[in-house]
Amino acid sequence: MSGLTQYSNSAESTESTVGSKLTCQAACAKSWEVLDGGTRYVFHLRDDIFWSDGKKLTAKDFEYAWQRLIDPVTGAAYAHFLYDVTNAREINQGQIKDLNQLGAKALDDLTFEVRLNKPAAYFIYLTAGPTTYPLRKDIVDAHPGRWTEPSNIVTNGAFKLDSWQHEYKIDLVANDKFFLGRPKIDKIKMFMIPEQSTAFSLYQNDQLDFIDNRSFTTSDIEQCKKDPNFKTQALLRAQYLGLNTKKAPLDDVRVRKAFSMAIDKSIFPKILRRQETPMSSWVPPVLIGYEPDSGLKFDPVQARKLLAEAGYPDGKNFPKTEVLYVSREDTKLGLEAIQAELKKNLGVRIELVNQEFKVYLTTRKMHPPQVIRASWSADFPDTDNFMNVFTSESGNNYTGFKNKEYDKCVEDARGELDSVKRANLYSRADKLLCKENAVLIPLYMATQCVLYKPWVHGIDVNALDIQNYRTAYLEGSN
């Protein structure tokens, strides 16, 4: 699928991000204007874009998609992404019933206008992500609950969905009429293989042409690094422990701080061996608002002192504490290291509970335990995307943390165009989150490691882990 804009690493792009090489350039919108002090965007669409069923794409398709996202009936977890748009919050929270009051309108077939409550420094990046992609109302209405099935779905991207065997395989075919040019590859087969070792074996036997972190185990990494087609990409993806502030014993901030200070983050790149960057703050080092002292540093002596003050000297009588995580070898390795750190430095024993991904998501939402091992991948390359996760209204905040000062810092930073003031607001929010309230324990920034067969060329992987296959091609023997 294609949105109003798209990400590119090209120096010729028209918008740049703060602290990242990623840029935002034209896609479905051939150009746009930023008016009224940054509170109104007018996008001018290309007139040569067609859906896969031959129908022309119009601004109404964006208007409908944005209204559907914000409609409380949809229950979209990412609805808050549009809260800067006029009346979006009020509609999503049921205060305004008329979806047409949303400040995102088709002025005509090729003009899409967005009105904001106030300037938002990062807004243009939202238009490059799937959350704001266009949708066809007639298709969704005709196939409620099944509009994404291959026989029903219509798309406007470089590839079309040919078949989808759930939990097994997705087949994509080239879109001959793609407005940016036909892809060089005719067909792509994507396999969903739960076992990393199985996927790696298939790659070794030339049954897969391209794999990433999801397809080889940590024990395979040294062998992979010897391959000339092995590459590592730093990601805007943070791994962390979310601490449930509503469940004992983590409802005591002293316990949360003790946990955070008892874990030596430098262990992760040593055991995972993928060039991970240890973290103590939630703001990534490459984004605005990062400060090295925003989080709690490794200090086992102070950690033991805090735990004793909380009533658990040397971990005595510490209640049963569970850590929920998704079944995966590298995640388990990291958690076993954390388990050892807490035992060594605090005398505390934590229990690891692994679940298959879908079950994990349900448990995290409905019955979150004391600790959740989680990952946050940036949807757009701006600090707001990280800080927004832990606001009171975020659908991704499972810690129970609600803090008015934190919410205000994040809210004010959204509309602050002065980069120094904006950085200070995010820095303050980071300290509230990681140091003063110790709501989460940042672990490390992840990387994406990929392996290509010698005949595979042109796959682009960026810091958002978006893998672009439009420019991919095969050349050489296979």
Find how far residue 475's CA is from the centre of its chain.
Answer: 33
Tokens standing for residue 438: 């110790």
pLDDT value at residue 78: 86
Instruction: Return the CATH class of domain 159-231+451-474.
Output: alpha beta
Partnered with residue 56 across adjacent β-strands are 50
Region(s) of the chain under CATH 3.90.76.10: 5-142
Task: Report the SS3 class of residue 138.
Answer: helix
Q: CA-CA distance, 222 to 230, in Å (whole number)?
A: 11
pLDDT value at residue 9: 55
Residues of the chain with pLDDT under 50: 10-20
Q: Alpha carbon of 218 to those of 114, 191, 200: distances in Å? A: 46, 20, 11
Instruction: Return the CATH class of domain 5-142.
Output: alpha beta
Tokens standing for residue 357: 């991904």
* Spatial CA neighbour of 400 closest among 253, 295, 296: 253
Q: CA-CA distance, 102 to 376, in Å (whole number)?
A: 28
pLDDT value at residue 298: 97
Find how far residue 264's CA is from the centre of its chain.
Answer: 25
Q: Alpha carbon of 56 to those of 112, 114, 130, 380: distances in Å? A: 15, 21, 19, 28
197-228 b/e (C-beta count within 10 Å ≥ 16 → b):
eebbeebeeeebbbbbbebbbbebbeebeeee
pLDDT value at residue 477: 61
Q: CA-CA distance, 130 to 145, in Å (whole number)?
A: 19
Which helix (H) or strand (E) is 235 found in, with range?
strand 230-243
Instruction: Return the CATH class of domain 234-447.
Output: alpha beta
Dihedral (CA of 100, 394, 112, 461) sign: negative
- pTM of the model as a whole: 0.85
Region(s) of the chain under CATH 3.40.190.10: 159-231+451-474
* Spatial CA neighbour of 393 closest among 410, 417, 378: 410
